[in-house]
Amino acid sequence: MVEFILPDLGENIVSGDVVSVMVATGDTVEVGQNVLEIETDKAVIEVPSSVAGKVTDVLVKEGDSVKPGQVIFTVEATILNEPAPTIPPVETAPPPADAAPAAAKAEPAEETPPPPTEPADFIFELPDLGENIVAGTVVNVPVEKGTHVEKDDTVLEIETDKAVLDVPAPVSGTVLKIMVKAGDTVSPGTPVMIFSAFAPVTETAAPAAAATEPVSLPEKPVAAASQPSSPMQTLPAPPPIAPNGKQIHVAAAPSVRRIAREIGVDITQVPGTGPGGRITMTDVKNFSRRMHAERAEIEKQLAERPAAGGGFVQKPLPDFSKWGEIDRQPMNNVRRVTAEHLSYAWYAPHVTQFDKVDITELEVMRKKYAPRAEAAGGKLTITAILLKFVASALKAFPQFNASIDMESHEIIYKKYYHIGVAVDTPRGLLVPVIRDVDRKNVIQLSVELMEISERARNRKTKMDELQGGTFSITNLGGIGGTAFTPIINAPEVAILGISRGSFEPRYNKATGQFEPRMMLPLSLSYDHRIIDGADAARFVRWLAEALENPFLSVLEG
């Protein structure tokens, strides 16, 4: 009788839940045949058999929690999926004493299997890039064939519709093959590189245990069977995550999940028609066809009638070339998504409130304490100061720190204060977010503002830096202009625009004279569905009075 032992499931994975058992007592199994599906905290993994023969007993069932090294089933024959034929056969008990000479003779043959630290080929598949991101463009491949990398070194730069992301190496090793180049469009799950990585040493691989314990299955046994000298490894896809942060169980094979990712289908929405509700390849393809058909119908309906809420559907453009020379250039990802997002944002009924703020005293204070910010690594700009004042204003006027849900007819008030700041970059407008502005002093905000602005201009913005904003600020004062109407960064409900400050004559009642004062123009655009005009005027006046009467304590806490 031979036992099939559950092999290691991956780095730091100590257990998993049985999703399905693909064999039963009396079945005949072959080496490499999938016999079990295990759901870990990272993915659903198909486990192939390392033994062949007739199944005599199945020791687990669906729903059981299992660990590497646990006996799953037994078979009558003893056919192991060995990385080399010289590994001794499985013994159910220690060999007798008189067998020692034979074991000694076999020792030279045992040296032929590769040691636990011999390099193994590792196929690196592009991981998920973020929520709702189905593809990206390769901007740069900073490594080449033969380059040695350490784990977490950047091996790819991918431009998505939100940012340029650094993709780290999942392992340490040498680059054997690069499957993509700059300009390629890739999606999560696409093989992008092959590394010669060092396989970890495991207890089950220790030679000393071979004589007393069943031989455990090497990592990725199917690939080992097809390429004994170079077993391929791949990164498992992460399981779907529900809005509450819990994993969603989906009964589908990894190959089905990969196809779903590649064609942009959310597999958690696909109804399964297989045994026990299992999702098949046909289910995914049929769902994709229905999804595209529904989308086409919606687009057709939009084209046949005016868009609701103040939006518009673009009419077909004329042939401009008949009037002269033209040059068509494709939008980059940032510009395309900005155009789509602002078209969507304009559906909200915008109103803009204008005002001017006397910042004469504030300017004196800003110049006085600017060296302190520079010593900390920042720059004390009017935007950095406004961040702090705006956070206080949002606490006084919570409807400006909210979102509106028209489907449920609810207003979502946020108890955190994450403020986005628009940054002009060569690729277009980006709005990185500074988190917990209310908990930071102006010096800290000046440093963080400089850092995120530089990362945005150098294409180093991280994905999470562009998400979660509750309010936005955009400053065009460095360029010019007296006022403008900024567009709300949906799903936020308000945005503050800043124009160039200038000296203007202002009447002083105390002296009866006109005096030159530094006046800063503010433009507050807001969603009229949730914010009334009177509230907007009060918000701007509150902000103006706070700026006109600054306190030193604001600078440092």
In the numeric block, which tokens belong to residue 317? Answer: 């453009």
Residue 528 known to be catalytic: yes
Dihedral, CA of residue 359, residue 363, residue 365 and residue 367, to nearest 10: 170
In the numeric block, which tokens belong to residue 28? Answer: 């005949």
CA distance 254 to 33: 15
Catalytic residue among 292, 341, 350, 528: 528
For residue 369, the cross-strand partners are none
Q: What are the backbone angles phi and psi of residue 439, rounded to the nearest 5°?
A: -100, 5
Query: CB atoms < 10 A from the CB of 86, how many?
Result: 13
In the numeric block, which tokens belong to residue 112? Answer: 């032929």
**450: closest CA among 389, 370, 384, 362?**
384
Burial class (CB in 10 A: 0-12, 13-18, 19+), 34: middle
Q: Which residue has the tokens 């919570």?
A: 398
In the numeric block, which tokens belong to residue 225? Answer: 């069977």
**Distance linking the first and last C-alpha atoms of the chain:** 72
| DSSP letter (8 states) at residue 484 | -
Residue 215, SS3 per DSSP:
coil
Output the CA–CA distances (angstroms, integers) from residue 82 to 8, 52, 209, in the order listed. Answer: 15, 12, 15
In the numeric block, which tokens belong to residue 160? Answer: 């998505």
Catalytic positions are: 528
